[in-house]
Amino acid sequence: MIPEQPEAQRLLIAEYVLGLHSREQSAEIEQWLEQDDDAASLANHWREHWLGAAELLEPVPLPPRLWREISRRTASEDSRGRFDWQWLWQSLTLWRTVSVALLVAVVLLLGPLRVPAPVYTVVLQAPGEAASPGWRVTVSAQGDLQLTPLSESEYPADRSVQFWTLSDPALGPRSLGLVQPGESLVLPASRVGGVESGQLFELTLEPPGGSPADRPTGPVLFIGRAVAI
């Protein structure tokens, strides 16, 4: 049954994207996504979010038991000339294993013996539109930042898009430079400064060449907060 509470729905979709539900539950969720555009957009948002996290991780081998099962099914299907890849794709055991492996990899990635600082991701969304991701920010363990567009957006030709961050309200926002619409931006750690959980990032529409002040003066296009992976 699909829950009515928005928070419960978001959690349900996140678990569905990770493949943590049974076939019956997944079928019910898929039918819901086909009928609800907002839910479908949120599912796409979660896919982008988990892909962004996965890009920062090293591959983790699957357990030997699962590979033996794949080999057994492959051998049994050879006589009929086709392997049941649909079974592999829909296998709850497989996706639970991959999901657990992903979480284990995150723990190892953030372990004090391997990484000196947390790794962060930010999904920048249009204000008031939680299911409309526009950009993704990733911050490496070394502090380098990458801003990546997730969708196509059009802006007035006589305006500039400026990238900002706010870690301490007492210090105010800090400009990270201008952004070319539709193009990725990479900034070194020396330019980014320290990043912590909850830190605000946003893109604003400014006059040509950027804001004339040391703070945003135009409307906010996309906004989001850093989350430690």
Q: pLDDT digit string (tens) for 3-12?
A: 877 777 877 8
Q: pLDDT digit string (tens) for 184-214?
A: 999 999 999 889 988 999 999 999 999 998 8
Q: Answer yes or no: is 208 within a domain.
A: yes
- Give the count of alpha carbons within 13 A of 10, CB side only: 7
Q: pLDDT digit string (tens) for 29-86?
A: 888 888 888 888 888 877 776 665 555 555 556 667 666 666 666 665 444 445 454 5
The continuous run of DSSP H or E covering 166 comes out as strand 160-166
Quickly tell me which residue has 């193009």 as its tokens: 183
- Is the pTM of the predicted complex or chain greater than 0.85? no
Q: Answer yes or no: is 105 within a domain.
A: no
Altogether, the residues listed in the chain come to a count of 229
Q: Answer yes or no: is 202 within a domain.
A: yes
Q: Answer yes or no: is 166 within a domain.
A: yes
Q: Answer yes or no: is 142 within a domain.
A: yes
Q: pLDDT digit string (tens) for 32-42?
A: 888 888 888 88
**The CATH number of the domain where 130 resides is what?**
2.60.40
Q: Answer yes or no: is 222 within a domain.
A: yes
The residue range of the domain holding 168 is 120-228
Cα separations in angstroms, 213 against 11, 171, 174, 209, 217: 40, 14, 11, 11, 7
Q: How many domains does the chain have?
A: 1
On whether the CB atoms of residues 126 and 132 are closer than 8 A, the answer is yes
Task: Dihedral sign for Cα 84, 31, 149, 133, please.
Answer: negative
Separation CA 6–CA 182 (nearest Å): 31
Q: Answer yes or no: is 193 within a domain.
A: yes
Separation CA 189–CA 87 (nearest Å): 44
On whether the CB atoms of residues 214 and 168 are closer than 8 A, the answer is no
